[in-house]
């Protein structure tokens, strides 16, 4: 029998228990990369470092844990999450983001208790570009963004609503690993960053 | 000012506070790769999965955190650690390994209090080869080894003794990142796996 040395255990449930619907689209704020850089640079001057949060939601399919990610119409892949407001707490802000990006209409569905658990990784963006690092690189005194990833425990079953211009995908751990070219460094790193967690696959 | 979202803080001290001496060499058990495979396969039949532990010791130099690693005469790079005995607890076993691989002679030095803290990552070896994964790959029912990595807090200052056939190196985080070719996957992953920890650089 395989002995597990992990100190942290998380229950994960079958993908089939989640009912995936649609909700209003999430519109992009920028029409080009350069417009985005200009907007972020202006904001940085006023507000300082941008703080973002991302949720790692794990389910299982075919007896293997999978991570729920979004893809947009340009085939970008990313975790549910977003930017925090000024002085907003990370955990509260992440719950707010999950509410806007994944929660169905409250008139027809009960409120999901988003259970934000372990902090998994922290990534730093040294300038207004795509590249991020899991540390503040030497000689960078003013990183432009810090992105914190949290494991979020889903209830056994619930309804989720995906913005209609996004797709939700469930990707097995082994697809991410060692494939930064496809997924980008944050998604690619998830299997290593989650290796200290034992996922109990429940029925 | 940069705001840090990390939930875990660890104090690290200057490399200059550690006095590095020598101790008796650690002899290799195998003279070839095939001999090693045969020895491990025999042992696996009797004892089942091999359980190993590794220590991540962090210091600072030039205002940047560095990780202490060994290199051997064949330029293999690895963390201090080793195989657990049957039924041995991970934390106790890691302290025993640090004692044999890094502690100086107790007649001349006080016992270092090895403070084993956070579990950082868990790696699985599906067969008796070099490749390891941060999960049990699909279709692998009997992994051959599980390696658990822990952060170990060093005292502010102490003497360490390195086996005379090893070298001790202090490598900055950015050297490991994205360079699996040089360091192997376990060392290369350390910056990501440690990104959730805030290292406070102390004097």
- DSSP letters for A121-134: EEEEESSSSS--BS
Which residues of chain B make contact with A191, given a CB cutoff of 8 A?
133-135
What's the CA gap between A194 and A187, in Å, rounded? 11
Residue of A1, A3, A5, A199 to mutate when probing chain B, most B C-beta within 10 A: A5
| ipTM of the complex in this document | 0.94
pLDDT category at A2 given cuts 50, 70, 90 is low
Say what the pTM is: 0.95
B162 part of contact set with chain A, CB < 8 Å = no
pLDDT category at A106 given cuts 50, 70, 90 is confident
In chain A, DSSP finds a helix count (H) and a strand count (E) of 6, 11
Model confidence pLDDT, tens digit, residues B99-148? 999 999 888 888 999 999 999 999 999 999 999 999 999 999 999 999 99
Residue of B137, B192, B193, B199 to mutate when probing chain A, most A C-beta within 10 A: B192
Q: Report the residue from A3, A64, A137 with minimal CB separation from B51.
A: A3
Contact A135 B8 (CB under 8 A): no
Contact B191 A90 (CB under 8 A): no
Tell me, what's the pLDDT at A53?
98
The token pair at B198 is 């805030």
A134 part of contact set with chain B, CB < 8 Å = yes
What's the CA gap between B200 and B13, in Å, rounded? 8
What's the CA gap between A138 and A135, in Å, rounded? 9
Looking at chain B, the whole-number percentage of residues with pLDDT higher than 90 is: 90
Contact B3 A123 (CB under 8 A): no
Tell me, what's the pLDDT at B29?
87
Contact B1 A134 (CB under 8 A): no
Model confidence pLDDT, tens digit, residues B12-31? 999 999 999 999 999 888 88
What's the CA gap between B74 and B85, in Å, rounded? 26
The token pair at A9 is 């255990």
Tell me, what's the pLDDT at A29?
87
**A24 has pLDDT over 90:** yes
Comparing C-alpha atoms, which of B176, B35, B5, B26 is closest to residue B101?
B26
**A1 has pLDDT over 50:** no
pLDDT category at A4 given cuts 50, 70, 90 is confident
B144 part of contact set with chain A, CB < 8 Å = no
Tell me, what's the pLDDT at A5?
87
Residue of B8, B81, B122 to mutate when probing chain A, most A C-beta within 10 A: B122
Tell me, what's the pLDDT at B6?
87
Contact A135 B49 (CB under 8 A): no
State the average pLDDT over residues A2-18: 90
- CATH architecture classification, A8-201: Alpha-Beta Complex (3.90)
**A16 has pLDDT over 90:** yes
Tell me, what's the pLDDT at B2?
58
Model confidence pLDDT, tens digit, residues A55-91? 999 999 999 999 999 999 999 999 999 999 999 999 9
B88 part of contact set with chain A, CB < 8 Å = no
What's the CA gap between B130 and B17, in Å, rounded? 35
What is the residue whose two structure tokens read 């997924």?
A183
Which alpha helices (DSSP H) does chain B contain, by range?
A: 33-47, 90-102, 173-176, 180-183, 185-188, 190-193
B79 touches B54 (CB < 8 A): yes
Looking at chain A, the whole-number percentage of residues with pLDDT higher than 90 is: 89
Contact A119 B8 (CB under 8 A): yes
The token pair at A181 is 């070219």
**B1 has pLDDT over 50:** no
Residues 8-67 of A with CB under 8 A from B: 8, 48-49, 51, 64-65
Comparing C-alpha atoms, which of A25, A43, A47, A27 is closest to residue A163?
A25
Question: CA of B128, closest CA in chain A: separation in Å?
Answer: 16
Residues composing chain A: 203
What's the CA gap between B103 and A32, in Å, rounded? 57
**How much is the mean pLDDT over chain A?**
95
Looking at chain A, the whole-number percentage of residues with pLDDT higher than 70 is: 99
Model confidence pLDDT, tens digit, residues A136-170? 999 999 999 999 999 999 999 999 999 999 999 99
What's the CA gap between A174 and B136, in Å, rounded? 9
Looking at chain B, the whole-number percentage of residues with pLDDT higher than 70 is: 99
């Amino acid at each position: 029998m395989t002995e597990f040395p992990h100190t942290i255990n998380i229950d994960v449930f079958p993908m089939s228990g989640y009912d995936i619907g649609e909700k209003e689209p999430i519109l992009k704020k920028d029409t080009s990369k350069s417009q985005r850089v200009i907007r972020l640079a202006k904001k940085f001057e006023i507000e300082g470092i941008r703080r973002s949060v991302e949720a790692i939601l794990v389910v299982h399919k075919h007896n293997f844990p999978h991570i729920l990610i979004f893809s947009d119409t340009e085939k970008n892949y990313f975790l549910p999450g977003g930017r925090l407001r000024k002085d907003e707490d990370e955990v509260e802000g992440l719950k707010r983001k999950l509410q806007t990006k994944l929660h169905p209409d409250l008139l027809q569905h009960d409120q999901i208790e988003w259970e934000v658990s372990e902090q998994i990784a922290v990534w730093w963006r040294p300038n207004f570009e795509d590249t991020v690092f899991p540390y503040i690189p030497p000689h960078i005194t003013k990183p432009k963004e810090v992105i914190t990833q949290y494991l979020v425990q889903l209830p056994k079953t619930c309804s989720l609503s995906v913005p209609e211009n996004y797709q939700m995908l469930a990707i097995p751990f082994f697809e991410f690993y060692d494939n930064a070219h496809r997924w980008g460094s944050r998604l690619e790193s998830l299997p290593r960053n989650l290796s200290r967690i034992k996922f109990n696959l429940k029925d």
